[in-house]
Amino acid sequence: MAIVCRLAIYYNIDVYNVANSYVYRLNKKNMLRLSGFKNYKDQFKKIQKNVKKDLVYYAKKELNDKILGKNNLFALNQNINQSSYNKTKIKKIKSRKEKILIATHCFTDAVHAYGDFMFADFYMWLDYLGQLSNKLNYEWLIKIHPSQFELNYKEISKFTAMYPKLELLNKNISHNEIINSYDILGVITVYGSIGHEYPLFDIPVINCSIKNPHYHYSFNLNPQSKLKLKELIEDIKNIKKKFRVKKKEIYEYYYMRYMSEYYCVKQYNQIQLKLGKNLKSSLIYKYWLESFNLNHHNKLINDYQTFIKSKKFRMIADNTSGESVYLDL
C-alpha cells in the first residue's frame, strides 16, 4: 500500500511484495496484497485431485485445532489471537435466548483493506446497526476482539449507551462459550475471520464489506447494498432455519487463505511455533542459516524465476510436507 508502489503501478511497473511467508505481484488489476480472493475457487480446481484431498484434510485439522483452542500455526502467522476460542468443546445447545452477534473491528484498522465497504467507517457502520436495533425485535450482542478490547472499549460503550438493545460481552468470553450459551440467529461483521468459523455450526454470517475474503463463497451472505443488508437482517430468523453449508468448501477456502503462501524458509510452520511473538524478529535469520543448503537455495531461485515469468498475482504452494512446493496455477 506504500505510495512508491502506487506510483510504480500507475506507470505500469511491476511491484513485488515479498516476505519470508508470501510473494505477490501487484499491478493495476490487483493493487492490494489483500485481494485476489475471487480467484481462490478457480485456482483450487486446478490442483491435482490427490493433492487437493491432502490439502483439505490439512486445512480441516488446522481449523478444527483453532476452534478447539489448540496451537494453530497458520493463525499465529496471521497474528490471530488464540484467546478468541478456548478448549471448551462447542455443542449445539438450543436456547430461548435468540441473539444477533456483532463482531466488531478495531477502530484504527483499515476500513477499506479489502476494497469497497458500504459505509464510510466503522463508526457509521455501528451507528447504522444501532438504529436498526431500535426498530427490530431482536436482542443484540457485541463482541470486541480480546486483543483490541481496551483500545475499543470506550468507543463501543458510547454505542451501548445510545442503543439500549446492544449488549457488550465480557472481554474473556470465547466464541465456544457464546455458541454454547445463546441461540445465535446470525453474525454481522465487515470482513472478520468469523465469516468462515460460525458457518461450521450452521450459523449464517453477513459481511458488510462489498469485497471481503469470503465474498465468492456460498457459506457467507454478502449484500451489495445497505437495503439488501437491512433485508437480510430482518429475515435472519428464516435464513437461519434453512442455512446449511458444504463444510468442504470452508476447508478449501481456509487452505487458500491461510495455508497456501510460499515460504522461503524450510519448516517455516515449526519455526513459527518455536518463535511465537518473536517470529518477526531477526531470529528468523538464525533458523534460515541453520536450514540452508544449496539444493534448497537453487529450488527457491527456480521457483521465483518461474513465478516472475508467469506474470501471475501470487505464489501458491503446497505446504503439507513442511517445505513449500510451488503450484504454478
pLDDT digits (tens, 9 = 90+) for 116-135: 888 999 999 999 999 999 99
Q: For residue 282, what are the domain limits?
A: 266-292
pLDDT in tens, 33-81: 888 888 999 999 999 999 999 999 999 998 988 887 775 554 454 444 4
Same domain, 280 and 202: no
For the CA atoms of 20, 26, 32, 38, what is the dihedral angle to 10 degrees?
A: -100
- What residues contact residue 239 under an 8 Å CB cut-off, 6+ apart? 186, 204, 221, 232
Same domain, 271 and 136: no
Same domain, 142 and 244: yes
- In-domain check, residue 57: no
Same domain, 116 and 218: yes
Other Cβ atoms less than 10 A from the Cβ of 126: the count is 25
Same domain, 246 and 167: yes
- In-domain check, residue 64: no
Same domain, 170 and 132: yes
Same domain, 143 and 273: no
- In-domain check, residue 316: no
Mean pLDDT of the chain: 88
Helices 247-254 and 49-67, axial angle in degrees (round to 10): 90
Same domain, 248 and 278: no
Count of residues making up the chain = 329
75/81 Cα distance (integer angstroms): 8
Q: Phi/psi zone of residue 16: left (φ > 0), alpha (ψ -120 to 50 degrees), beta? A: beta
- For residue 53, count CB atoms less than 10 angstroms from its CB and return exposed for 0-12, middle for 13-18, buried for 19 or more: exposed
